[in-house]
Amino acid sequence: MEVVFAVFVMTLLRGFHAQGLGGLEIGFYSSSCPNAEAIIRATVEAHFNKDPTIAAGLLRLHFHDCFVQGCDGSILITGASAERNALANFGLRGFEVIDDAKTLLEASCPGAVSCADILALAARDAVVLSNGPSWEVPTGRRDGRVSSKSEASSLPSPLDSIAIQRNKFMSKGLNDHDLVTLVGAHTIGQTDCLFFRYRLYNFTTTGNADPTLNQAFLPQLQAICPKNGDGSKRVTLDKDSQFKFDVSFFKNVRDGNGILESDQRLWGEAATSSIVQNYAGNVRGLLGLRFDFEFPKAMIKMSGIEVKTGAQGEIRKICSMFN
């Protein structure tokens, strides 16, 4: 009788806990696939050791998954009309890491772990490997059955004004604080010249570069991205430490060294610049410690966007194909 009561209370508590996390729960695979998180971590680490730039690729992959159809692995589906082939998803990387993890998971616990969860866990592991903060990722996402190129317009563009960025994030339940915090992911990774080169030449009606760009930094960017040169040359989004998950991205935005126009615009409006300033720190970076604390909170929120749980969706056998 006591055992039955204890199980009842535990089930109830689990239910409450899961409700607080939008139907997800920490340690969802603890009995169905106890090594799931360790397998994913080891796979991400093996790829990272060969190519540390993959960390940024994985973090961006999860963000792009969540903003279209929710965090449901829809970004992983291949096919001409699939989400992955939309212009907004240009340059996405890390698909092979997710596939490798899935192969190992299927060998260990077939049909148990969703591709959507692999993406969320791999994003966390990527941040940790980049010397960033760690957090427990609520799991239990199911994989979606829809992946459509035409829906990718909900993703933000580097040309978006703050008002448009704000609307796009708000439509996913994320506020200004979440927006600035999550864009802090640009503390690692790179961009192609083609996403910001227009800022370097003839940006103003008088033929000058974007005046919000630090004029001392301008010639360096122009050297990497000549006016009619190769648009696929890569530039680090955080000029000071592209492999380190720290607050120098915010210092760069404060100092006019933001690469993407959308990043630099965060400094142009009081509502967002105060948050940038806060993270950038003004007492020898002491306040910068807060980013370590806020980023995981914002990630847990983003990783919970429109998730499918319970009997919804499916657990894909192969991440790039519906069952």
Q: Which range touches ligand HEM (CB under 6 A), out of 27-35, 153-161, 270-278, 309-317?
A: 153-161
Q: Classify residue 210 by burial, with Cβ atoms within 10 Å: 0-12, 13-18, 19+.
A: middle
Q: Which of 47, 124, 141, 186 binds ligand HEM (CB under 6 A)?
A: 186
User: With CB under 6 A, what is the number of residues at the site for ligand HEM?
Assistant: 25
Active-site annotation holds for 64: yes
Task: Indicate whether 182 belongs to the interface with ligand HEM (CB under 6 A).
Answer: yes
Smaller CB distance to ligand HEM: residue 197 or 308? Answer: 197
Least CB distance to ligand HEM at residue 142 (A): 22
| CA–CA dist 148, 74 (Å, integer) | 8
List, in order, residues 6 or more apart from 111 with CB less than 8 Å away. 315, 317
| CA–CA dist 277, 264 (Å, integer) | 13
Please report, as residue ranges, which positions from 11 to 70 form the binding site for ligand HEM (by CB under 6 A).
53, 56-57, 59-60, 63
Q: How many CA within 13 A on the CB side of residue 231? A: 8
Smaller CB distance to ligand HEM: residue 18 or 304? Answer: 304
| CA–CA dist 42, 254 (Å, integer) | 36
Q: CB of 221 within 8 A of CB of 210?
A: no
Q: Which of 157, 212, 222, 312 binds ligand HEM (CB under 6 A)?
A: 157
Smaller CB distance to ligand HEM: residue 113 or 183? Answer: 183
Smaller CB distance to ligand HEM: residue 18 or 179? Answer: 179
Least CB distance to ligand HEM at residue 179 (A): 7
Task: Indicate whether 98 belongs to the interface with ligand HEM (CB under 6 A).
Answer: no
Q: Which range touches ligand HEM (CB under 6 A), out of 1-9, 109-117, 182-190, 211-219?
A: 182-190
Task: Indicate whether 162 belongs to the interface with ligand HEM (CB under 6 A).
Answer: no
Q: CB of 267 within 8 A of CB of 108?
A: no
Q: Which residues pair with 235 in a beta bridge?
A: 191
| CA–CA dist 107, 36 (Å, integer) | 11
Handedness of CA 67, 70, 72, 78 (dihedral sign): negative
Print the SS3 string covering 11-44: HHHHHHHHHHCCCCEECCCCCCCCCHHHHHHHHH
Q: Which range touches ligand HEM (CB under 6 A), out of 1-9, 44-52, 100-108, 179-187?
A: 179-187
Question: Catalytic amino acids?
Answer: 64
- List residues binding ligand HEM (CB under 6 A): 53, 56-57, 59-60, 63, 91, 93, 156-158, 160, 165, 182-183, 185-186, 188-192, 195, 260, 262
